[in-house]
Amino acid sequence: MLAVVRSELTRLLQPRFLLIWFGLVALFAAMVNTIMVTFVSGGGSLPPGAPGVAFPSLAEMESPSGLMAGLAAAANLFGVVTLSLWATTTAADYSSGLIRLLVAAEPRRWPLLAGKVGALLVVTAAATTVAAIVNVLAAVPAAAAAGISTAAWGTDLVEVIATAWLNLYLALCVWGVLGLVIAVLSRSAAVAIAIGVGYVLVVESLIKMVGDAPSDWLLGTTLSAVASGGSEAVAYGTALILALGYVTLGLVTAGVVVVRRDVTD
């Protein structure tokens, strides 16, 4: 499987592809930090059911974990980017016809799929790191400009950064797998992105707006909770278990389809 990962990484490490991925992640990290700090320092509060966005309170912002609060706040935006790029690279194998060469070269299709996931996990880790770095670089001046105290931000610095990084990374992996699964099923990046983004921004928001409908298990809510290290709606442990369930279901579905389906056009 290592050979498949190395092969996939060779194809993924295209400057333009990485520039788009990392650039969007950096843009959202900087943008959300700026908006969040301005919003929190002004005493604003988000409307309930806003799609996947969770801004901290002023007290939380001024706590040691406040430095990385932007990562959790932008988690679903990063998620949409991750879903889109996993879907794009997966669907490109089908649209370019490359899948024919890949399957002819490595007829065992499970390792092909696993290798692709492995390579995408590596690049997602790099994207998460970019997000964390830009978050730190943006948060400090934004907080200073907004008059938010950063005195506690140095406390347990490594642990705070590592925890935020890990939580975001786990959430993004699930987002990515979702993009991969829809791309495998649809063999189209556009369809995969439309379904993924449409679900989070429209379907899930609509479900949440239905008063009595339980929404704690929904994908966006779950992944937002994972990225935040738990939320009021979903405890961290529960969110992780739910996320694991989504990943397992997604990978099994993608695996069965990849293994069983004919490779035509």
Q: Which residues bind other proteins (CB under 8 A)?
A: 3-4, 6-8, 10-11, 14, 16-17, 92, 96-108, 262-265
Give the span between the Cα atoms of 217 and 235, in whole angstroms: 11
CB of 120 to other proteins, least distance (A): 15
Q: Which CB atom, from 7 or from 41, has the smaller least distance to other proteins?
A: 7
CB of 91 to other proteins, least distance (A): 13
Q: Which CB atom, from 16 or from 210, has the smaller least distance to other proteins?
A: 16
Q: Are 230 and 239 in contact (CB under 8 A)?
A: yes
Q: DSSP assignment, residue 50?
A: -
Q: Which CB atom, from 194 or from 263, has the smaller least distance to other proteins?
A: 263
User: Which distant-in-sequence residues (6+ apart) come within 8 Å of 251 by Cβ?
Assistant: 113, 117, 177, 181
Looking only at Cα atoms, what is the longest distance across the chain?
A: 60
CB of 174 to other proteins, least distance (A): 26
Helix/strand/coil for 20: helix
What number of helices (H) and strands (E) belong to the chain?
A: 12, 0
CB of 106 to other proteins, least distance (A): 6
Q: Which CB atom, from 4 or from 132, has the smaller least distance to other proteins?
A: 4
